[in-house]
Structure 1
Amino acid sequence: MKFTSTLFFLLLCVFYGVNGQSNYRIEGQVKNFKSGDCILANYYGTQIYAKDTAKIDPNGKFVFEGEKPLLGGVYEIVFPDRKNLFRVLITDDQQFSFQCDTTDLISSTKFSGSRDNELFYQFQKFMREKDNQYKQLKDSKLPETDKRYKDLQEQRKAFYDKFMSDNEGTFTVKLFKTSADPEIPPAPKKANGKVDSLWMFNYYKAHFWDSFDFADERMIQTPFLEQKLKRYFQDLTIQSEDSITKEADFVVGKAIAGKKKDIISYCIWYITNQYENAKIVGTEGVFVHMGEKYYLTGIMPVSDTSTLKNVRDRIKVLKPLLVNKVIPDIGVMSYRAADRLEYIHGVKADYQVLFFYSPTCGHCRESAPKLKALQEKLYSQGVELMTISVDGSEDEWRKFIKEFKLENLINGYGLVASRQVVYRNDYDVFSTPTIYILDKSKKIIARRLGVEDIEPFLNVYKNQIAQEQKKSSSK
């Protein structure tokens, strides 16, 4: 009986200990502010979101506190002027205090009760001190400057190596390693004696993710995951569908191996989102790949059924209209004869430009004179232009063609067609104008360009074809 009572008393202490005091308490004192609201904001990707607020008293003091522990990560404290951001690291130590001065946040900051924040600012203070010494040395133009530069670099490296070694296992060290570039060893030389720069690039890319811990859920609440994703896919990956999908599967595979749901979801979402409305010709297939492989299979955890429906519907529209697919044919009322249909596949030309438009659309009206000039220039080069009006009355359609003197183009009125058609679904015309470029076999070679991009694209494309033919003939 005595044992049972003691146990019950201990359980009560634990219960009230957890619920009767703050699970996080961050006390701050900032010079230069005597009133106003501070915001504690967490990162999600590269955006910050308000998590808590606190009022500053006349002594510059304020307190953030709450009953539930904060998720670990990188946080920003936004001061009342909404100009200064003060970075803090949230780890298991969530009862700490600090003092700072907004005129010099790095040098003035002092923490108590948070080892990671102490280390974080210690590191920054040292590095900034060396940066200042470097600038002073550069301005002074003293003799032996090169030797002094080298001494400073060696001091920085010695401090960095010791700091990383002494504090291994801390969140601070993990963040610095995550944000640092891979160290590249001396590159081999090619037969001509020059450094093999391609080897350096491949080494850098192969080791780009080495220091990122996909198994640490705190990383989702730092800006570094999105920054690394952006750099990897924009700067280190060839912008073709095959290359991007290969690298997407590689990165998502690392996230899946880390077994952290939020990181898996963020990686899948980020990559998919970049290519739904792709900015680079021929990369829309990445969205289809991501949707089919991760969303529709359940690997991407989505509780909202409308999201899955939207992804499924978008794939249905995009898949037949990807680059290298033969565009679906349709016949539309001809401007030349009302009893005749103009078919997309009926146009005989090396290249064909399709211009889906609305006769009342402002952007379409701006594009029409450029389209006429383009037709006059490119017709002799084997390029035909075909316009299809997707809405408006027949009178508005005919008036548009006359107004902009487009009679020499192949013009079709899309509301009188050889089959039932919804242009938004059948040709992905969700805004006008929408442009496709087709080759001789009616395969899509580009889509969703501006009129001003048509000629430059064709020049590059034809040059690539010529080079490929030259290579194949020389074999």
Structure 2
Amino acid sequence: MMKRLFIFLFIFSVLTLTAQNKKSYKIELKIKGVEDSVLYLANYYGDKTFLVDTTVRKGKNNYLFEGKKHLDGGIYIIVGQEKNTIFEFLISDSQHLKFDSDMKNLIEEMKVKGSNENSLFFDYLAHSNIQFKQLKSYQHQIKNLNHNNDSIAILNKKIEELNSDIVDYKEAIIEAYPKAFISHFFLAMKSPETNKSIIISKEDSILAFKNYKKHYWDYMDFNDDRLIRTPVFHNKLEYYFNAVAHPAPDSLIKEIDAFLNRLDEKSKLYEYSLWHLTLKFDQSHRMGYDAILVHFANNYYAKGKAPWLNAEVLKNILTEAKKRSNSLIGKKGPNLVMQNLDLSPISMYSIDKNYTILYFWSPKCGHCKVETPKLLEFYKQNKEKMDLEVFAVCADTNMQAMRTYIDEHKLNWINVNGPRSYTQNFHELYNVYSTPFIFVLDKNKTIIAKQIKSNQLFDFISNYEKIKQNKK
């Protein structure tokens, strides 16, 4: 294998220069055993794949994809009529490629012309296939042995050696071709090394995690936009923000800024990351994550850091962020002054309790008919114990319907009518356009929770009290 690596090393620069002089792409396939009359060429982009080209069979087993414009670098896929992947390959050092093989042994018999990197890629895949077959054999043997059998340790050692061999194979390619896309791709797949043998205490585990996090992106070449057209970049991005970064909104905002600062704002990696993270956290239902969209809007979109974005979409993001900005967790909730059942003005700020439960509801709302009795039960049991009050804002304009529902269900908390307001429209102040909707405010009327359910209130306030006590 190493001999072949060094032979390719000498011809690599020649192949690269040749490819650069061609402004078109031409991909010829001769795959024995493929029965499809039509094949598709697709490429990865983040976590998705997109159709690039289509071709029909030309004679027996022959197919040709060609175009007058270079393909963007990355991993491409030959796809059958049934949307089945036939094989994957690289667009990197050449745009004029020939692949010749047999479906009976597709990878091992693959012959590549015109691309050094694809020859290396298929050599690696063939080698890995052999090792994986052996690995599965060892795993099957272990499964059929008694757990006390001494052979298990021997087989596990062999499995470890096989895994090491696959890693060493990739490392040899990386060492021989440090500037090649295949090396960038293999490096991007690597994770920071953790020495599990030294993890004994909880402190060791924490230090190991911090080191893992610190070096998580070490092997990713952020200057190579071709990595966006592989599944690796998206998967690493997702894992980092799902499992490595702390999930608290403030922490995530810092992590997002630190990550995006690594990227060139003109790169496709930056474009993809900014948009993907915007959608990811905007679509999350976790409490407080609306602050992340506001941060994106104020610090990226409003500052012209997404020039590629459609003007209408940009406008929608900025408008939505403005709506959310008044009622973020950690902000003081805007005061509401509204008429009660006696048509007298009642101010939410007049409530002198440790906690205010701000409840938006409607007598016609089906979900409210489920939520209101639960909130009432919580209120009866914890009003005195937790020193709280409910400020219930009815969103319905019909005062009679509001009065009837309150009387029938004996809602003896503070009841006001939202449309009969002396302050700004409550929809805009609290970004509430559906009911039921619950906010929790502390003694200073700072918002400490939102979009919370009645059956979660007891645990939330109890835990909040414990945190307050621990800070003293």
TM-score (norm 2): 0.83
Question: Within 5 A, what are the aligned runs for 1:242-321?
Answer: 242-256=250-264, 260-276=266-282, 278-302=284-308, 304-321=310-327
Select 2:225's aligned residue among 209, 212, 217: 217
Change (3 A) 1:153 1:73: closer
In 2, Cα distance between equivalents of 1:100 and 1:432 = 62
Q: Does the aligned pair in 1 maintain the 2:335–2:423 contact within 8 Å?
A: no
> Deviations along 1:426-460, whole A, 9 cap, x unmatched?
21113332221111111100122344433333333
Q: Which of residues 238, 243, 254 in structure 2 aligns to 1:230?
A: 238
* Corresponding letter in the other structure for 2:398: S
Q: Is 2:127 aligned against 1:126?
A: yes
Post-superposition CA distance 1:272-328 (Å, at most 9, x none): 333335533233322222222221122222453333332332232222211111100
Match of 2:165 in 1: 155
Match of 2:216 among 197, 202, 208: 208
CA contact (8 A) 2:376 2:411 kept: no
Q: 1:375 matched to which residue of 2?
A: 379
Matched, 1:366 2:384: no
Corresponding residue for residue 464 of structure 2: 461
| Closer, same or farther: CA 468–109 of 1 in aligned 2, 3 Å | farther
2:178 match: 168
C-alpha distance in 2 between matches for 1:275 and 1:135 = 39
Distance 1:31 1:305, change over 3 A: same
Which residue among 165, 169, 181 is the counterpart of 2:191? Answer: 181
Supply the distance in 1 between the matched residues of 2:437 and 2:132 (Cα, whole angstroms). Answer: 52
**Residue identity in the other structure for 2:378:** L
Aligned to 2:339: 333
CA–CA separation in structure 2 for the residues paired with 1:250 and 1:197:
24
Structure 2 partner of 1:440: 443
Report the Cα distance in structure 1 between the residues aligned to 2:179 and 2:88, rounded to whole angstroms.
Answer: 20
State yes or no: 1:385 paired with 2:393. no
In the TM superposition, residue 117 of structure 1 has moved relative to its aligned partner by: 2.5
Change (3 A) 1:400 1:183: same
Measure the CA separation in 2 of the matches of 1:378 and 1:103: 71
For normalisation by structure 1, the TM-score amounts to 0.83
> Are the counterparts in 2 of residues 217 and 260 from structure 1 also a CA contact under 8 Å?
no
- Post-superposition offset of 1:110: 4.1
For 2:435 and 2:78, the matched residues in 1 are separated by 44
SS at match of 1:324: coil
Q: Is the 8 A contact 1:188 1:195 kept in 2?
A: no
Residue 339 of structure 1 and its aligned partner are, at CA, apart by: 1.8
Distance in 1 (CA, whole Å) between partners of 2:105 and 2:369 is 55
RMSD: 3.0
Q: Distance in 2 between matches of 1:304 and 1:161?
A: 42
Aligned partner of 1:70 in structure 2 is 71
Cα distance in 1, alignment partners of residues 435 and 258 from structure 2:
36
Structure 2 partner of 1:34 = 35
After superposition, the Cα gap between the structure-2 partners of 1:339 and 1:78, relative to the gap in structure 1 and judged at 3 Å, is same
Deviation at 1:152, TM superposition (A): 2.9
Report the Cα distance in structure 2 between the residues aligned to 1:108 and 1:376, rounded to whole angstroms. 75
- Does the aligned pair in 2 maintain the 1:35–1:57 contact within 8 Å? no
Cα shift at 1:181? 0.8
Indicate conservation of the 8 Å contact 1:239/1:280, yes or no: no
TM-aligned CA deviation for residue 32 of structure 1: 5.1
8 A Cα contact 1:44 1:222, kept in partner: yes
Q: Is the 8 A contact 2:73 2:229 kept in 1?
A: yes
Query: In structure 1, how many angstroms separate the alpha carbons of the residues matched to 2:63 and 2:343?
Result: 79
| In structure 2, distance between residues paired with 1:153 and 1:129 | 12
Q: Structure 1 residues 386, 164: closer, same or farther in 2, change over 3 A?
A: same
Q: CA deviation at 1:106?
A: 4.3
Q: Residue 11 of structure 1 corresponds to which residue in structure 2?
A: none
Aligned residues: 442
Task: Give the distance between the partners of 1:316 and 1:231, measured in 2 at CA.
Answer: 30
Select 1:449's aligned residue among 439, 449, 452.
Answer: 452
Does the alignment pair 1:343 with 2:344? no
2:79 maps to amino acid: V
Q: 1:438 and 1:85, CA in 2 relative to 1: closer, same or farther beyond 3 A?
A: farther
Instruction: Give the counterpart letter for 1:291 in structure 2.
Output: A
In the aligned structure 1, how far is the partner of 2:368 from the partner of 2:410?
A: 13
Gaps of 5+ in 1: 1-17, 470-475
1:304/1:197 CA distance change after superposition, 3 Å: same
**Deviation per residue, 1:46-90 (Å, 9 max, x gap):** 111222122245734322211111111122332111243632221
Compared CA separation, residues 101 and 180, structure 1 to 2 (3 A): farther
Native 8 Å contact 1:251 1:267 kept in 2: no
Shift of 1:388: 1.5
Separation in structure 1 between the aligned mates of residue 165 and residue 240 of structure 2, nearest angstrom: 31
On the 8 A contact 1:22/1:65 being kept in 2, the answer is no
Moved more, 337-346 or 88-97: 337-346
User: What is the SS of the residue equivalent to 2:288?
Assistant: coil
Q: Which amino acid aligns with 2:81?
A: P
Describe the shift of the 1:196–1:54 C-alpha distance in structure 2 as closer, same or farther (beyond 3 A): same
Work out whether residues 34 and 56 of structure 1, in 8 Å CA contact, stay in contact via their aligned partners in 2: no
Contact residue 91 and residue 171 of structure 1 kept, 8 A: yes
Cα distance 1:356–1:162, how it changes in 2: closer, same or farther (>3 A)?
Answer: same
Taking a change above 3 Å as real, the CA distance of residues 300 and 362 of structure 1, as seen in their structure-2 partners, is: same
CA–CA distance in structure 1, aligned partners of residues 77 and 457 of structure 2: 46
Tell me if structure 1 keeps the 8 A contact 2:356–2:440. yes
Residue 36 (structure 1) shift: 4.3
**In structure 1, what is the Cα distance between the partners aligned to 2:447 and 2:415?**
20
